[in-house]
């Protein structure tokens, strides 16, 4: 299986980037070809250039909007050469980010290199000797080792990216379900507690009503007893006054006083 097919297999997610190279020239526009796998583009989707190892969708370097309502399966997006990063040691990655900042697909990592024309073909010295040959051979060996290490590093990165993008979401889904069930149980408990409080309030209202009726009855009894007592006391007072009162006409009249007898 060639590298292109391998990349397609590794990154065959919702959006798949095609014909991704290991290196791109900073003197040329960067053309990104991608296709949709059972995915319909939405408003806010974008093709985004990141430094490899990014953690947040806000860490993008460049992006181009994906037209809303695309009906084809393969599309191209171009990043102008004037805005491409110039760091030739950094690894970069192209990702398809939807409107909710979710990764729908990602390319394998790649680098930017200088324009090939900048490397002069006649830069070799005219006086070529054995020492120069040995130095050149050593450099070739070093370059060969560096290339092998670079290939190993990229293979490792591809595996890591693949694991990151096509990971099993069952655990996360299970955690979300568990959290949802926990929230449902908590809501149910709150509803039960509210119902219990309402029942207590109703019971308390009924008890209050009973106590109020008892209070009214007691007050009425007290008022009747008070009125009865006042009436009885009043009757006693009247009877007592009746016994003390008498008619002056019933008293015997005094005999006439004989003034003459006194004078004589």
- Cβ pair 60, 49 in contact under 8 A: yes
Strands (DSSP E) found in 52-164: 62-65, 74-79, 92-97, 103-106, 111-113
Residue 262 has pLDDT above 60, yes or no: no
Closest Cα to residue 14, out of 34, 33, 39?
39
Burial 222-250 (b: 16+ CB within 10 A, else e): eeeeeeeeeeeeeeeeeeeeeeeeeeeee
CB neighbourhood size of 134 (10 A): 10
The dihedral through the CA atoms of 244, 249, 255, 260 has a sign that is: positive
Mean pLDDT, range 198-203, rounded to an integer: 83
Q: How far apart are CA 97 and CA 15, in angstroms?
A: 10
pTM score of the predicted model: 0.43
Residue 126 has pLDDT above 80, yes or no: no
Closest Cα to residue 42, out of 74, 77, 68, 70?
68
Mean pLDDT, range 86-91, rounded to an integer: 89
Tokens of 156: 């490792």
Residue 231 has pLDDT above 60, yes or no: yes
Residue 147 pLDDT: 67
Map residue 96 onto helix, strand or coil: strand
Residue 136 pLDDT: 52
Percent of the chain with pLDDT over 90: 22
Percent of the chain with pLDDT over 70: 65
Ranges of each domain in the chain: 3-116+143-167, 174-228
For residue 263, what are the CA distances in angstroms to 57, 254, 256?
A: 148, 20, 15
Residue 207 has pLDDT above 50, yes or no: yes
Q: How far apart are CA 39 and CA 14, in angstroms?
A: 6
| Domain boundaries 3-116+143-167, corresponding CATH code | 2.60.40.2840
95 pLDDT band (50/70/90 cuts)?
very high
Residue 48 pLDDT: 95
């Amino acid at each position: 299986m060639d590298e292109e097919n391998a990349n397609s297999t590794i990154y065959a997610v919702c959006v798949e980037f095609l014909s991704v190279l290991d290196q791109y020239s900073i003197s040329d526009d960067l053309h990104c070809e991608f296709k949709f796998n059972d995915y319909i583009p939405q408003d806010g989707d974008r093709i985004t250039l990141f430094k490899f190892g990014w953690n947040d969708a806000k860490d993008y370097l460049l992006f181009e909007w994906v037209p809303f309502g695309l009906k084809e399966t393969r599309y191209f997006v171009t990043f102008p050469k004037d805005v491409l990063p110039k760091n030739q040691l950094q690894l970069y990655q192209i990702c398809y980010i939807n409107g909710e900042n979710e990764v729908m697909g990602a390319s394998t990592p790649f680098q930017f290199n200088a324009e090939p024309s900048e490397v002069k073909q006649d830069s070799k010295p005219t006086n070529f000797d054995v020492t120069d040959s040995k130095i050149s051979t050593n450099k070739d060996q070093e370059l060969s080792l560096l290339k092998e290490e670079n290939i190993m590093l990229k293979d490792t990165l591809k595996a890591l990216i693949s694991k990151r993008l096509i990971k099993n979401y069952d655990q996360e889904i299970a955690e979300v379900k568990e959290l949802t069930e926990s929230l449902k149980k908590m809501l149910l408990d709150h509803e039960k507690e509210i119902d219990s409080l309402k029942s207590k309030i109703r019971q308390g209202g009924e008890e209050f009503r009973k106590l109020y009726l008892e209070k009214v009855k007691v007050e009425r009894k007290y008022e009747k007893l008070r009125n009865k007592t006042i009436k009885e006391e009043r009757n006693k007072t009247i009877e007592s006054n009746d016994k003390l009162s008498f008619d002056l006409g019933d008293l015997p009249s005094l005999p006439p006083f004989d003034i003459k007898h006194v004078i004589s």
